[in-house]
Amino acid sequence: MDYSVLAQVYSKLESTPKRLEKTEIISKLLKKTPNDLLEKVIYLLQGTVFPKWDERKIGMSSQSILKTINSSTGATIHAIEKEWATKGDLGTVVESIIKNKKQTTLFSKKLTVTKVFENLMKLSELEGKGTVSKKIQLVTELITSATPLEAKYIARTVIEDLRIGVQDGVLRDAVTWTYFPRIKGINSNQEKAKLVSSMAELKKLNLSNYEALEASSEELAREIYNYFISQIEESYNLTNDFSEVALAAKHNKLHTLKMHVGKPVNPMLAIKAESIEQALEAVGSPLQAEHKLDGFRLQIHKKGKEVKLFTRRLENVTKQFQEIIPIITSHVNADDFILDSELVGVDSKTDMYLSFQNISQRIKRKHHIEKTAEHIKVEINAFDIIYKDGKVLIDLTQEERRKILEKIVKEEKHKIVLTKKLITSDPKEIEEFYKKSLAKGNEGIMLKSLQSKYVPGRRVGGWLKHKPVKETLDLVITGAEWGEGKRAKFLSSFTLSCIDNGKFLEVGKVGTGFKEKDDELSFAELTKILRPKIISEKGKEVKLKPYLVLEINYEELQKSPTYNSGFALRFPRAIRVRLDKSIKNIETLKRIKYYHSQQKK
Ligand code: AMP
């Protein structure tokens, strides 16, 4: 397949904001993609060549891509930078440079999807001396053979900023539309369709025989559609890899997809409980209450001797927490397993748990890992097990899984313990347990249904969380301003956004709560993290790729035309950096509206 086919698709996707149109465009592409290219095409649609939990990254800085454009087009760095400042996107810059330059030349070689994929793959494999120039060479090779449109998307892929608005939800729908029959009235208006009058009838059909189905009622059509979507979603939550899911769906083998030790599973999530009484009603009684610790979620994978550690965002943090690996191998009695846990910092002098802030610096640490490990000790607080010795345990009940966990974990204080639990039907006992947990410096309690399965990636109601009402929001930084005076080198005054159907909408700017130095909330530290995320600059104003999530305190939410969300925060104050949260976990516009309505009450 020529890369130009993909470039055309990118361009169409970029030009429509409509989700259904995007879904149809991708579905058409997947239909005509040959089997051997399916995985590659799906990764490239996500702007990458790896599943997102993979440690390898394409990783090329904007500076290197500037040099690449220079070496492949002959345009001077100064000219490229100038255009970049006005256009704000290196993809568009390279597109227009090549357009102007190549009017009279013929493109030497046609680029194929495979060629682009392979060169991108090689970028991640380079290490050591001369890496930068080798990377530039690999990308130059692509850009010199590229049409303007192809070059635009190669450049954007290389800097990991594809900007075609394809989120996981669109891809999930597109995979569903491609490999399950279409449904009349929902995603098809095909004449010839197999008539279906119940779910029972549907489940007996060999679906690969039908292009389209017609349900006997609108509700049934919806039910069938949701059923198809959930099949893809569940498979995705197990594997976190749409390429793998699409291949399995194409060959009718979704049921064979399994979680694998070594590949992270989307962790099960919790819903907020309104009160203890409501929780008892919602999850059934008796329930299992547990201390809710203020650390960060850690999924622990062990296969034979090999241990891998993943955060809630599926980042591999094995290197950062080397010191807990021997504890895992010696204190958990099983060969292969996946444990779910909270990793908490402990102050070895006072014996108290530290707050998340203290260990968060260890997550992103790339150098001096051992030194920080000595300073900031951590304790594993295991609360679930989802795989053991060849068996996937997610369909067992909470009660059964906890029993297995209790059997195999040998607890040792400050190394590995099980979360404190209480099984009861008595709201007073739960209240006491909650107070005790808070007194220990924990965040609150979790309230878990004894009967619930482990449902990867979903807030299904099997787990509730109960914590003091706190007026904080998780928002992503989408812009900033260069500071003044002694802060001129640093970004400050950060624009905060929430999310609405994949679009980021601004809710205000925050300039307080930050520290002068030696803190993850210092301007220097934030600037270090955010500088590579700069999309464009105009005067002092900087636009940033949504990446870094801040937890924000505020006095009030007001309706306001100043920001495109329609809301503005009064007196926002940064509390902490949430490296454990991805842009998928930030407040939605819906939540903001809800908080606004609650505050009026
Ligand atoms: P939240 O981040 O407020 O949505 O709360 C859910 C998070 O609480 C989980 O992702 C875990 O990181 C954390 N947590 C702390 N203690 C527990 C526990 N006992 N069971 C489950 N999750 C826990």
**d(CA 438, ligand 1 centre) in Å:** 14
What's the pTM? Answer: 0.75
Q: Which residue has the higher pLDDT, 212 or 258?
A: 212
Q: Which residue has the higher pLDDT, 504 or 102?
A: 504
**d(CA 310, ligand 1 centre) in Å:** 15
Residue 446 beta carbon below 6 angstroms from any ligand 1 atom: yes
Residue 342 beta carbon below 6 angstroms from any ligand 1 atom: yes
Report the pLDDT averaged over residues 66-78.
94
Residue 290 beta carbon below 6 angstroms from any ligand 1 atom: yes
Residue 568 beta carbon below 6 angstroms from any ligand 1 atom: no
The residues facing 481 across adjacent strands are 492, 541
Q: What is the pLDDT of residue 85?
A: 85
Q: How many Cα atoms occupy the beta-carbon half-sphere of 152 within 13 Å? A: 22
Q: What is the pLDDT of residue 438?
A: 87
Sequence-distant (≥ 6) Cβ neighbours of residue 530 within 8 angstroms: 477, 480, 491, 544, 547, 548
Residue 270 beta carbon below 6 angstroms from any ligand 1 atom: yes
Amino acid symbol at 170: V
Name the 3-class secondary structure at 165.
coil
Residue 383 beta carbon below 6 angstroms from any ligand 1 atom: yes
- Residue nearest atom 22 in ligand 1 by C-alpha distance: 292
Which ligand 1 atom is at minimum distance from the Cα of 297? Answer: 12
- Answer yes or no: are the C-beta atoms of 516 and 530 closer than 8 Å: no
- Answer yes or no: are the C-beta atoms of 172 and 34 closer than 8 Å: no
Closest C-alpha among 188, 191, 217 to residue 202: 217
Mutate to test the pocket of ligand 1, among 446, 466, 472 (most ligand atoms within 8 A of CB): 446
- Answer yes or no: are the C-beta atoms of 360 and 579 closer than 8 Å: yes
Q: Which two tokens stand for residue 154?
A: 């190669």
Residue 89 beta carbon below 6 angstroms from any ligand 1 atom: no
- Residue nearest atom 12 in ligand 1 by C-alpha distance: 297
Q: Where are the domains of the chain?
A: 3-158, 168-256, 269-466, 473-598
**d(CA 431, ligand 1 centre) in Å:** 18
Q: What is the pLDDT of residue 376?
A: 79
The residues carrying an active-site annotation are 292
pLDDT at 222 over 90: yes
Which ligand 1 atom is at minimum distance from the Cα of 267? Answer: 10
**d(CA 344, ligand 1 centre) in Å:** 11
pLDDT band of 102, cuts 50, 70, 90: low
% residues pLDDT > 70 (the chain): 96
Q: What is the pLDDT of residue 385?
A: 98
Q: What is the pLDDT of residue 59?
A: 77
Closest C-alpha among 181, 189, 229 to residue 205: 181
Interval 377-404: pLDDT, tens: 899 999 999 999 999 999 999 999 999 9
Question: For residue 79, with 0-12 CB atoms within 10 Å meaning exposed, 13-18 middle and 19 or more buried, which class applies?
Answer: middle
Residue 380 beta carbon below 6 angstroms from any ligand 1 atom: no
- Answer yes or no: are the C-beta atoms of 420 and 406 closer than 8 Å: no
- Residue nearest atom 11 in ligand 1 by C-alpha distance: 297
- Residue nearest atom 16 in ligand 1 by C-alpha distance: 292
**d(CA 488, ligand 1 centre) in Å:** 39
pLDDT band of 357, cuts 50, 70, 90: low
Average model confidence (pLDDT) across the chain:
91
Q: Which two tokens stand for residue 76?
A: 């001077």
- Write the class of the CATH domain 3-158: mainly alpha
Interval 468-503: pLDDT, tens: 765 689 999 999 999 888 788 899 999 999 999 889
CA gap 249, 243 in Å, rounded: 10
**d(CA 366, ligand 1 centre) in Å:** 25
Residue 419 beta carbon below 6 angstroms from any ligand 1 atom: yes
Topology (CATH level 3) of domain 473-598 = OB fold (Dihydrolipoamide Acetyltransferase, E2P) (2.40.50)
Closest C-alpha among 197, 230, 203, 229 to residue 216: 197
- Residue nearest atom 6 in ligand 1 by C-alpha distance: 270
Residue 339 beta carbon below 6 angstroms from any ligand 1 atom: no
Angle at 459 between CA 454 and CA 463, to 5 degrees: 60
**d(CA 297, ligand 1 centre) in Å:** 7
pLDDT at 103 over 70: no
Question: For residue 177, with 0-12 CB atoms within 10 Å meaning exposed, 13-18 middle and 19 or more buried, which class applies?
Answer: buried
% residues pLDDT > 90 (the chain): 72
Interval 577-590: pLDDT, tens: 998 888 988 999 98
- Residue nearest atom 17 in ligand 1 by C-alpha distance: 292
Q: How far apart are the first and last CA of the chain?
A: 59
Mutate to test the pocket of ligand 1, among 293, 379, 421, 582 (most ligand atoms within 8 A of CB): 293
Q: Note the Cα 419 to chain centre separation in Å.
A: 26
How many contiguous H segments (helices) and E segments (strands) does the chain have? 21, 23
Interval 158-203: pLDDT, tens: 998 899 989 899 999 999 999 999 999 999 988 889 999 999 999 9
- Residue nearest atom 23 in ligand 1 by C-alpha distance: 292
Which ligand 1 atom is at minimum distance from the Cα of 291? Answer: 19
Task: Lowest mean pLDDT of 56-70, 101-115, 312-326, 422-436, name the range.
Answer: 101-115
If you search the block for the tokens 């347990």, which residue do you land on? 433
Q: What is the pLDDT of residue 601?
A: 46
Which ligand 1 atom is at minimum distance from the Cα of 585? Answer: 4
**d(CA 313, ligand 1 centre) in Å:** 13
**d(CA 526, ligand 1 centre) in Å:** 26
Residue 551 beta carbon below 6 angstroms from any ligand 1 atom: no
pLDDT band of 563, cuts 50, 70, 90: very high
Handedness of CA 247, 251, 252, 253 (dihedral sign): negative
Residue 297 beta carbon below 6 angstroms from any ligand 1 atom: yes
CATH of span 269-466:
3.30.470.30
CA gap 471, 584 in Å, rounded: 20
Report the pLDDT averaged over residues 565-587.
91
Residue 292 beta carbon below 6 angstroms from any ligand 1 atom: yes
Residue 465 beta carbon below 6 angstroms from any ligand 1 atom: yes
CA gap 419, 382 in Å, rounded: 6
Residue 244 beta carbon below 6 angstroms from any ligand 1 atom: no
Q: Which of 53-62, 102-111, 363-372, 503-512 has the highest mean pLDDT?
A: 503-512
Q: What is the pLDDT of residue 86?
A: 86
Q: What is the pLDDT of residue 127?
A: 83
If you search the block for the tokens 């005076």, which residue do you land on? 485
Interval 267-325: pLDDT, tens: 999 998 888 999 999 999 999 999 999 899 999 999 999 999 999 989 899 999 999 99
